Amino acid sequence: MPHEQLHRLDLNLLLAFEALMAERSVTRAAVRMSVGQPAMSASLARLRSFFGDPLLVRDGRSLVPTPRAVELRAAFQEALDLIDSALRASRGFDPRTARRTFTLMASDYVLLFLLGPLVAALEAEAPNLRLLIRPVAVDYAEQLSRPGLDLLILPEESAELRVSSARLFTDHLVCAVDARHPEVGERLTEEQFRTLPLVSYSAGFADPIIERLFRRQGVERVPAIGTQSLVIQPLVLAGTRMMAVVPERLGRYFGSQAPLLSQASTGSQASIRLLEPPQPFEPLHLGMYWQPRADSDPGHRWLRERVLQAAAALDGEESMATMADIDKSS
């Protein structure tokens, strides 16, 4: 596309194209852009004329992008991201007055121990800030590459991402069984480790990390139950022969809380017992990930600093990463 033609393609037209691609509807795109439907239809007509392609074609009640539209969207998103980052960097960020929404993707385990306390701490410091927290999805890498997801928090052992990152905290993996398990004594035997029915966390990962760690020890495990929640695993164990491999911090929390939770729901007491595996698992390292385009965004940087501080507070010691570490990884 010759540079002399760029004056015909203003920023509002690019924003209209993104709204149309996201909504697949002229009506919904118009609402998203706060314009009338005729104005959005006119923008689509201009885009089609400029690129010599229909871009979006009718399929039933929705619009489907053409291959050319899909190709253009990737390029436009990168350009819009750069413009947005430049504007944010020039404005600065004051958490006391800023009105901004940050979207994070993390497991319920991270929400319980890290993000929940962080939200409480931010209420006074940033009263107009909003955090949206999504569960980990299978396409987390793709979602992080697009606008709309600011931070991704994952075990480093599962994340294969070429983006900016920082380590948050480390947890050890232990085995958990019902406190009154009929077969397990003071320690877990190798046979029990290999054969007890397994509860596994599988959300967001094509190859769940626990099953991968078992394989590294030469043990092939097929879970009896696969859950979409780490936090629910200790509760599933009550009154069963099953075993789960959980972060020690989570296991200790539910080891103390499970009797109260169980008694409230069933009228009887139950708890879990934590046991070291016959062969120790590798530690679980939690990291946060973001796109390099956000490195110079003062608001995003402020949020990363607060997440690091919350991670440091988990163990009452300095975080394993500093902002200098972040700068070096950028």
78 and 147 inside one domain: no
So what's the pLDDT on residue 70?
87
Over 80: is that where the pLDDT of 316 sits? no
Q: What is the CATH number of the domain that holds 87?
A: 1.10.10.10
Weakest mean pLDDT among 122-136, 164-178, 243-257: 243-257
239 and 312 inside one domain: no
What is the four-CA torsion angle of 162, 165, 169, 171, rounded to 10 degrees?
-10
178 and 264 inside one domain: yes
Of 68, 91, 114, which residue is a domain's last? 91
193 and 65 inside one domain: no
3-state SS, residue 233 = helix
The CA-atom distances, in angstroms, between 307 and each of 109, 114, 248, 288 are 15, 8, 21, 9
Most confident by average pLDDT, 60-74, 100-114, 270-284: 100-114
Q: What is the phi/psi pair of residue 256, to 5°?
A: -95, -30
Sole residue written with tokens 């800023």: 98
Which letter does DSSP use for residue 39 in this model? H
Of 238, 257, 275, which residue is a domain's last? 275
Of 91, 125, 150, which residue is a domain's last? 91
pLDDT, tens only, 263-283: 444 444 448 899 999 989 989
- Determine the distance from the C-alpha atom of residue 227 to the mean position of all C-alpha atoms in its chain, rounded to a whole number: 17
Sole residue written with tokens 């980990």: 136
Question: Two tokens at 305?
Answer: 């600093």
Amino acid at 213: L
Q: What is the CATH number of the domain that holds 298?
A: 3.40.190.10
Question: Two tokens at 11?
Answer: 């920023």
The fraction of the chain above a pLDDT of 70, given in percent, is: 81
**pTM of the shown model:** 0.69
179 and 225 inside one domain: yes
Number of domains the chain is built from: 3
231 and 177 inside one domain: yes
Instruction: Give the integer Cα–Cα distance in Å for 201 and 204.
Output: 9
Residue range(s) defining the domain that contains residue 29: 3-91
Weakest mean pLDDT among 82-91, 152-161, 202-211, 320-329: 320-329
